[in-house]
Chains A and B, each alone.
Chain A
Amino acid sequence: MTLIKTPSDIPSHEITPERVYLSRRQFMGAGVALAGSSLVGSAASAADFNARSLTFQPAPRSGNSGFYTAEALTPFEDAISYNNFYEFGTDKDDPAEYAGALTTDPWSIKCHGEINNPGEYTLEDILARFALEERVYRLRCVEAWSMVVPWVGFPLASLLKFLDPTGNAKYVSFKTLARKSEMKGVRAFTSIIDWPYREGLRLDEAMHPLTLLAVGMYGKAIYPQNGAPIRLVVPWKYGFKSIKSIVGIKLTERQPETSWNMIAPREYGFYANVNPQVSHPRWSQAKERRLPSSLFSPNRIDTQMFNGYGEQVASLYTGMDLARYY
C-alpha cells in the first residue's frame, strides 16, 4: 500500500484546493448552463458541462505501477460518444444522447455496512479529502472492444481507509443511481436488469493501488455518459465492473450480488478479470478491437491476461482456478 500517496506525502502545491475543483457554486453554474442549453442540443450542453479543467498530479511515466501506458489515447470524441451506460439506453450512442438529463448536483454517496465511519457523504466532502491523480489505463469491454483513457481521480483505497473497514469487511459493493425521471433505460419495460445497477469487489481488489475512483477524464470533469460525477475504474477487469455514477458504497462480509452476474451467471462472473483464455459463451475473448477501429484495418489486437496488469494484480489470485472463477 506504500504506492498510495496519502495527502501528507504530496507537496501542498500539488494538491488541488477543493474550491478549484468542484465547488458547489461551479456545479450549480454547470447545471444552469445545462438547463439553458437544452434547447440548443446535447452537444452544446455537454461542452458547457465540461468547460472546467481539473488540477491533478500527472501519471508517472516510468516505473511499474501500471498507472501509465504510452499506447495511443482513444480520441476524446470517441470516448464520450461510444458508451455502455444502460441506464440511458442500450445503444452505444444512447448515453451521449440522453445522459445530459442527469442531475449531478447535489450528489452524495451513502457509505455503510462494515465500516467505522458510516454516513451520507456529499461529493464535495469526499473530494476535499483526496488529491487528484491522473491514470492512463487500458479499458477492455467484455464485448471485445477496448480504449485507452486518461482518467483523473483518487485511489478507492484512500476513501476506504477513511471509511475505516471493520474486521468483518471482506467485500465492497457499489450502487449506481437509478432515477427513472432522468434515465430512460431504467424506465424501459423491456429491460431485464434489476435496477439499480450493482457491482462489487473483494476488499483486497478494492484496496489495490490500480483501483481508482474517477471524477475526470482527459483533464476535465467526467461527462455524464462516462459516469459523472464519480465512477469506479478497475483496469484489469472487464468494463462492466467499473460502475458509473456511484451513489452507494457498502462493505460486507459476504460476496455481494452484481448486476450482470444476476442476469446471466454463466456469462458474467463476479471476478470478470480480463482473460483471453476464457471465452464468453457467445464470443471469443482472445482478441479485441482497439477503438477507434477503421474499416479496412480493424485494429484487432491480442487481449492480454489481466488486460496487461498481471505484474500488478496476478498475486491477488494465486491458487485460484480462473476458468472457474471467471
Chain B
Amino acid sequence: MTLKQVKALAWVGVLMPLVFEIGAVVTDNVGADPAKQIVHYIGQTSIWLLLLALLATPLRDFLRVRLLLKARRIIGVAAFSYGLLHLLAYSVFILGLDWAFLAEELSERPYITAGMASLLLMLPLAITSTDGWVHKLKQKWRRLHRLVYPAAAIGVVHVWWQARSDIGFALLLAALLGVLLLLRWQPVRAWLLR
C-alpha cells in the first residue's frame, strides 16, 4: 500500500465511529438518555484511538509492521478531535451550555478535571501534527509528543474515577496502557528483541 492509500484508509477508519453514532442518533437508537450515550460513546472512541496510536511503535519494533506508524498522526489527531467532541457533547447535551455549571464541575469533580487535563495535554500535540511542524521542531517534536503518555494515563484515570461498582472497563484500559508503556521500557524492549 502506498502512503497515500494508508492515510486515506486511516481517515475513513477514524471517521467510522462518528458516522455510526450519527446513524444511531438519526435512527433514534440512543436510548432513553441519549446525552449520556453520546458522551460516553465519543469519549470511549477517543481513548481507544489514543491507545491505538500508542500501539504503532511496538508494532513496528516487535512485528515490523509499519502500517499503524504511517497513520499514527491521523489517529492521534482523531483521538484529540473525539476528545474535544466529547467535551462539546457534554457541555451541550448534559450541561445545556450552563457555563457556570461547567466551571463548578471542572473545579469540584476530580474526574472532570482529569478529563480536561488529558484533553489539554493533547492540544499541543494535535496542533503540531502537521508535516510543517514536524520539520520545524525536529528533535523537539519527539520530545514534545511524549506528552501523549501522561495524556493517556490521565485519560484512564478519568475513566477509573467514574467506575462505581464494576471496574472492569477501567481495568482493561489501564492494563492495555500498562502493556503499551512496558513495551517501550528499555530493559523490556531489549529482552524482547534479543
Contact = CB atoms under 8 A, between A and B. Distances in A.
Interface of A: 74, 77-78, 81-82, 86, 90, 92-93, 145, 185, 188, 190-193, 263-264, 279, 282-284, 287, 289, 291-298, 300
A300 B96 contact: yes
Interface stretch (B51-59, B73-81, B145-153, B158-166): B158-166
B110 interface: yes
B33 interface: yes
Contacts of A279: 108
Nearest to A268: B164
Contact of B33 (A145, A264, A283, A297): A145
A295 B165 contact: no
A86 B104 contact: no
B110 A282 contact: yes
Interface string B6-31: 00000000000000000001000001
A298 B110 contact: no
A298 B35 contact: yes
What is the interface of chain A mostly: helix, strand, loop, or mixed? Answer: loop
A292 B36 CA distance: 11
A149 to B, nearest CB: 12
Contacts of B32: 74, 77-78, 81-82, 92, 291-292
A293 B161 contact: no
B105 interface: yes
A188 B95 CA distance: 33
B187 interface: no
Given A145-B33, A287-B101, A289-B33, 18 more contacts: A81-B32, A82-B32, A92-B31, A145-B36, A191-B165, A282-B162, A283-B105, A283-B109, A284-B108, A291-B33, A292-B33, A292-B34, A294-B34, A295-B34, A298-B93, A298-B94, A298-B95, A300-B98
Interface string B160-194: 01101111100100000000000000000000000
A284 B105 contact: yes
Contacts of B95: 298
Contacts of B111: 282
B168 A190 contact: yes
Given A81-B32, A92-B33, A289-B33, A188 B168 contact: yes
B166 A86 contact: yes
A188 to B, nearest CB: 6
B171 A190 contact: yes
Given A279-B108, A282-B109, A283-B109, A295 B33 contact: no
Contact of A284 (B33, B96, B104): B104
B25 to A, nearest CB: 7
B11 to A, nearest CB: 27
Contact of B35 (A190, A191, A264, A295): A295
Contacts of B35: 289, 293, 295, 298
A192 B108 CA distance: 25
Residue of A92, A145, A190 ringed by the most chain B CB atoms within 10 A: A190
Contacts of A93: 31
Given A282-B109, A295-B93, A190 B166 contact: yes
